Each structure stands twice: as structure tokens, then as C-alpha cells.
Amino acid sequence: MNSKNKLFEGNLLLDFIVNPKKRVYRHLLMFLFFALLMFGNTSPFGKNVSGGTILLFVAICMLCIGIIYLNFYYLIPKLLFTDNYRRYFLSVFLLITSLFLLLIGVIYHFSPEFSHEIKEDIGEQVIGIREYIKAYFSFIFLFGSFLGASTAIKLFQHWIIDKSHIYELETNTIQSELELLKNQITPHFLFNTLNNTNVLINTDPETASQVVFMLSDLLRYQLYDSSQPTVLLASDIRFLTDFLNLEKIRRDQFEFSISNDCDMATTVPPMLFIPFVENAVKYSAGGTNGSYVYVAFRDAGDTLWFSCINSIPAIPNNNKTVGGIGLANVRRRLELLYGDTYSLEINEKETIYQVNLYLKLCSVL
């Protein structure tokens, strides 16, 4: 289902107004409404009216509907939607006036029976200019109201369609931005991993072979599994474990742990936690007494708690990236995915750097 259909999903009224497949039903409803408006209360023909007069009256009604369609498919798109308001209202005024004059001429010159019935209804009075003016303004009010209602419907339909287009554009833009942010994270990770492999090739070819095998698993996950909107948390944890194992092979005095007490069926956006772990690895490097990274996942009801703790070397590492592009990207991605339903806390002490991320489960936008 595309984003436009999602916008109208569950709203039968909006679907009826906008859906092109229901255009015929909308037009039939308009004809029915116009017929009820013209014939609903009393018959305008009296008792003794010829069939020709009835046909004439029906032709007049069809002429009125024709003007409504002219307004629908020409005046509104060509003038009102192009901000030519003066020309639009002038055109509507001239159309209503011309229709009124045409009706008066037809009724009093081509339908004497109908004219006689009208004169009887007003007491055989001679219709003067004052009566014509009164009839003219009454006609403007009645037909203008109906024409205005049809214009309002067309404007509302146009507004709904524009809103659906904006919604679709925003959705596509967000998806594109998410992919871009994810792709910005991926090359950085690959660069570090390949650099580690290059070091191992010179020092330990056998271990380097194992690293290449592990790297192939990582790439498989990045290329295939992470292409889905969400993945199993267990899969993402395996990815983090492989990444940290690669780092442990490269660094002798490095230890890590990953604990998880979440449901095995828990799903998360792919590649969401790797920026924090990657920064933790780089942030902890450089110490002479060893370094560590401890990762934990906890299930707190409807909230997933992610914690990443790393050591800070006594001598500051000049390659810190915690506050750089990686973290900025992941913050932006969290905003796009979770809106205001996530919480990110970063605590830095003298020897420890900790990230706490709280995510509302099943609240991905």
C-alpha cells in the first residue's frame, strides 16, 4: 500500500471525495441532489402543463448543470487555481447573469403556459423592473449558493490531493534520508575493519584469513539483512559481536562483553547501535593498561534499554569521534525513526564513557 492510500485508509469520506474510481458515484450524487433541490418541495409546473414545457424545464436544469461542470473543469482549474481571482469571480457573475436572462427570455417568450402559471402564482400582477431585480437577486442567491457549494467541494478535493502529495513526498524524503544516513555510517565501519585486516595480513596471515571470513559475514548482513526496515535484535547483536571480535584480534589488551535479556523476537532498525559501539572502540583505544567495551540490552516493559560503556585511556585519544559525524548521524536517524519516543543519555567521567539509549518498542514511525 502506498503512502497516499495510507493517508486515506479508514476514512471513507475522504476516499469517496478523492478516489478516481468513485468519480461516477460522485457525479450521480450531484445529479440526485440537484434534482431534489429543483423538484423536492412542489412542482413548478402546476396542473395543466404540456409535455413541451416539462421538457423545456428539464433542458433548463441541464443547462444549469452544464454551467456547474464548466465551473468544475474550466473556471476553477484555469482561473481559481492559477490565482486569477478577479477573472474567476467576474466569469461566474457573467455566467449567472446570462443564465438568468436566458431563463427569463425562454420562460416568457417560448413557454406561455409556464409564464401563465407564474403570473397566476403572483396574483395576475404585471412583473415590473422591481420584480425582475428581486427575482434576479433571488436567482443569484440560490444558484450562486449551489455554484459556491460545488466550488467549495472542488477546493476541498484539491486540498486533500495536495495534502496527500505532500505526505507522500515527506515519506519518500524521510526514507531517502534514512538510507543516506545509514550509508554514511557503513563506509566508516568498513574502513576501520579493512584497516585492521591490513595490519593482520602482515603480522598473522592465518588470523587475517579468519578476519576475512568474519568480514564476509558482516558484509552479508549489511548488504542483505540490513536492507529490511527492521531486523531481529539477535541478528544485530551477532553483528556487534563479530565487530568486537575483530577488534579483539587486532588489540591484545582489549576485552568486551554483550549481554541481552530481551525477547528473541524483539525487532529494531538495522545498524542502529553500531555507531555507539564503533565510537566506544575508538574512544577506548590508546591506553597502556588495557581497554574494554561493555554492551547490554535490557527489556523494560515497552522500552528497550541499550547501554554501551567503554574505558577512557589516561592519555586522551586524538581520534575521538563521539561528538563527530557518527553521533550526529545516529541522532538524526533516531529522530526520523522514533520522533520524541526515544531518549539518549551520554555520561562522560574521568575514566568511563557511557551511552544509555531508551527506545519505545513498536514505535518506529
Q: Write the pLDDT tens digit of every residue in 205-243.
A: 887 787 788 878 877 777 777 677 788 999 899 889 988
Regarding whether 125 and 240 lie in a shared domain, the answer is no
Domain boundary among the residues 147, 169, 191 is at 169
Regarding whether 188 and 144 lie in a shared domain, the answer is no
Regarding whether 233 and 204 lie in a shared domain, the answer is yes
Axis crossing angle, helix 51-70 with helix 23-39, rounded to the nearest 10:
130
Which parts of the chain sit beneath pLDDT 50?
A: 1-4, 41-45, 117-126, 319-323
- Does 365 reside within a domain? no
Regarding whether 8 and 100 lie in a shared domain, the answer is yes
267-268 and 231-232 as β-strands: parallel, antiparallel, unpaired? antiparallel
Tell me if residue 301 falls in helix, strand or coil.
Answer: coil
Domain extent, residue 44, equals: 3-169
Greatest Cα pair distance, the chain, in angstroms, is 117
Tell me if residue 365 falls in helix, strand or coil.
Answer: coil
Task: Provide the CATH number for the domain around residue 342.
Answer: 3.30.565.10
Q: What is the structure's pLDDT at 201?
A: 80
Q: What is the structure's pLDDT at 332?
A: 81
Helix, strand, coil % (nearest 5) of the chain? 65, 15, 20
Q: What is the structure's pLDDT at 148?
A: 83
Q: What is the structure's pLDDT at 358?
A: 95
- Does 316 reside within a domain? yes
Distances, alpha carbon 113 to alpha carbons 81, 119, 124, 214, 272, in Å: 43, 10, 14, 97, 82
Residue from 50, 40, 29 nearest 114 by CA? 50
Q: What is the structure's pLDDT at 338?
A: 86
Domain boundary among the residues 116, 143, 169 is at 169
Regarding whether 111 and 246 lie in a shared domain, the answer is no
Regarding whether 241 and 201 lie in a shared domain, the answer is yes
Residue 309 near residue 352 (C-beta atoms within 8 A)? yes
Regarding whether 148 and 101 lie in a shared domain, the answer is yes
- Does 14 reside within a domain? yes
Number of domains observed in the structure of the chain: 2
Residue 321 near residue 279 (C-beta atoms within 8 A)? yes
Regarding whether 185 and 165 lie in a shared domain, the answer is no
Q: What is the structure's pLDDT at 350?
A: 82
Regarding whether 346 and 224 lie in a shared domain, the answer is yes
Q: Write the pLDDT tens digit of every residue in 140-153.
A: 887 787 788 778 88
Regarding whether 296 and 233 lie in a shared domain, the answer is yes
Residues 6+ apart with CB under 8 A from 121: none
Regarding whether 212 and 141 lie in a shared domain, the answer is no
Q: What's the angle, vertex CA 211, arms to CA 209 and CA 216, rounded to 5?
A: 100
Q: What is the structure's pLDDT at 53?
A: 59
Residue 284 near residue 313 (C-beta atoms within 8 A)? yes
Q: What is the structure's pLDDT at 315?
A: 67
291-300 and 254-260 as β-strands: parallel, antiparallel, unpaired? parallel
Q: Running DSSP on this structure, what letter comes out for residue 48?
A: S
